[in-house]
Structure formats: structure tokens, C-alpha cells
Amino acid sequence: MKFQEFYQNEFDGFEEYGLNLIAPKSGTVIEEAMSYSLTAGGKRLRPMLLLAVIKAYGKDLVQGYPAAAALEYIHTYSLIHDDLPAMDNDDLRRGKPTSHIKYSESTAILAGDALLTKAFELITIGNLSAEKKVTLIRELAICSGYEGMIGGQQADIDGENNSLSIDELEAIHARKTGELLRFSMFAGGIIADADKESLTLLEDVARKIGVAYQIRDDLLDVVGDAEELGKATGADNKLGKSTYPALLGLDPAFEKLSSELEKAKENVSKISDKSPSFDEEILLTFIDSLSITNDR
């Protein structure tokens, strides 16, 4: 099954589950603010990738819903806090006012805190074994904590006005965005009872997808259009941030994107070699969808 078909088939089911979880009950502003940011039109990339791994193993997707929703909650809280005046100071996100603009700065801080907290509660629900839940909670905390996403965000802020080497840039992105992607594929593997070696391969695929995703984002920022990104192109350049095209040059950046995607696909095939029933097409077609042509 192609990823695009899987996504079309399964998006609504997961979305309905997620929206029911967060439907405001008491009507407080904090619940409203949580719901506002969760329903701001995200593509649910990370949770759908988690579910895609479960699908590739032929297991029941619903088992993965709580962890997938938790992942989206963590991603959403990180966007709310990143947008704050003290951080990136963004007024718009996906064309809508950011949380602190729509509500207030204090509500945005608290709504972020509440989404982060709720994420861990979500993993405790559902039918997985207690052992699996504990494994997922530990890994989610590590991936999204100071050794992962939060540490990456801090390093990103610190590096904003410095020129970074390509290795420094990669280390920041690996934490800031790569670790949550790693969790999505690791969690899918855990839930689907993947063996240890396949788990390691899945994590490696996720890392390469993460690097590819960042290069793609940087490239679209230069060659793409504002509509596709939902923000002004060239924004990172204006802030003096280091990007792949700025550091490598445009053609080498395109080449690096292709090579990361190729390596990711090779590792997917290795998983498939170990488990013949593994439906590699779903991951291979996802990886292919990240490719962009250098048609300058």
C-alpha cells in the first residue's frame, strides 16, 4: 500500500479520535486554547508515520492511537512555546493567530504546559501492556526533553546569530526535530512488536528522514513559494540562521537530500528482508514523497 493511500484511508479515523480526546468539557479558556492549537490544521505527519509503521507490520492501528495523539500533543505544545515573544516571537502559524496573540501570553504558556502534561497521560490509556506503556513514556520523555527536542530548541536560539558549521547545524536539527520523528518510528515498532534489530533500523530511517525533511524545508524556503510553506520565504535567511543551502550551496544541498532519502530506503528494505510480511511500500512511498527536483 502506498503511503498516500494509507494516509487518505486512515487520517479521518485518527483525527476523530484525537478531536474527541480534546473536546473541551468545562469550557475553560485553557481547554479552549489547547483545542485551538490542536485543531489549527496540522498534517499529523508524526502520528501518521507512527501509525504507518504499525500498518506496515500488519497490526491493529487503533493500538497506536494514544501514543500517536501524545506525539501530536507534544509537537503542538512545542509550537505554542516556540512562537512566544521570548522565543521566535511569531504572530501567525499556518495563517492563524498564534496562541499568545489569540489568547494571552500566560494562557499560551499554560496551554503548552497542559498539552505536554496530557501527552503522558494519553500513553497510559488504551490496551497496550503496562511494560510497553512504560517504554513509550520513557522514550517520549527522552526524545522531547532537554537531551532531545528542548535541548535542540535552546541550541537553535543560542546559534541564531552565530554562523554554524554543517555538523553543528545537523546536531541541532537532530535534536530539535529529529528526535520526535525518531520516537514516531520507534513507538510504531514497539507497538507492532518489532524485534530489536528492526527497531534500530527504524530509528535510523527516522533520523535520515529528519535530516532530509530539514534540507527540504530549507530548500523550499529558497526555491519554493510562500503559499506552500504558509510563511514568508527567506525568513530564516533574514534572521541570519544557518541553513543547508547557505552552508553547502544549492546543488550540493539537493544532492544531500537525495542521498539521505536513498539511505533511508535502503534501511527500510533491510527491515523487509528480515520480516517478509513487512509492507515496505508504505514507508518507501512516504520517503519518495519528500524528494524535490532540482529544476532550476
In the bound state with a second copy, the residue whose beta carbon lies nearer, of 43 and 138, is 138
Give the number of other CB atoms < 10 A from CB of residue 249: 11
The window from 9-17, 54-62, 115-123, 216-224 that contacts a second copy (CB under 8 A) reads 115-123
Q: How far apart are CA 9 and CA 158, in angstroms?
A: 42
Burial code of 111-123, b = ≥16 C-beta within 10 A, e = fewer? bbebbbebbbebb
CA dihedral over 49, 52, 56, 57, signed as positive or negative: positive
Can residue 55 be called a binding residue for a second copy (CB under 8 A)? Answer: no
In the bound state with a second copy, the residue whose beta carbon lies nearer, of 131 and 225, is 131
Q: Contacting a second copy (CB under 8 A), which of 131, 167, 227, 228?
A: 131
Can residue 166 be called a binding residue for a second copy (CB under 8 A)? Answer: no
Can residue 151 be called a binding residue for a second copy (CB under 8 A)? Answer: yes
Q: Contacting a second copy (CB under 8 A), which of 10, 15, 29, 259?
A: 29
Residue in 111, 179, 173, 172 with CA at minimum distance from that of residue 144? 179
CA dihedral over 171, 177, 183, 189, signed as positive or negative: negative
Q: Contacting a second copy (CB under 8 A), which of 10, 63, 102, 124?
A: 124
Helix-, strand-, coil-residue percentages of the chain, each rounded to 5: 75, 0, 25
Can residue 19 be called a binding residue for a second copy (CB under 8 A)? Answer: no
Residue 4: C-alpha distances to residues 24, 257, 258, 284 (Å):
31, 21, 20, 11
In the bound state with a second copy, the residue whose beta carbon lies nearer, of 151 and 224, is 151
Q: How far is the CB of 99 from a second copy (least distance, A)?
A: 12
In the bound state with a second copy, the residue whose beta carbon lies nearer, of 168 and 255, is 168
Residues that bind a second copy (CB under 8 A): 28-31, 34, 77, 81, 84, 86-87, 104-107, 109-110, 112-114, 116-118, 120-121, 123-125, 129-131, 133-134, 137-138, 140-142, 144-146, 150-151, 153-155, 157-158
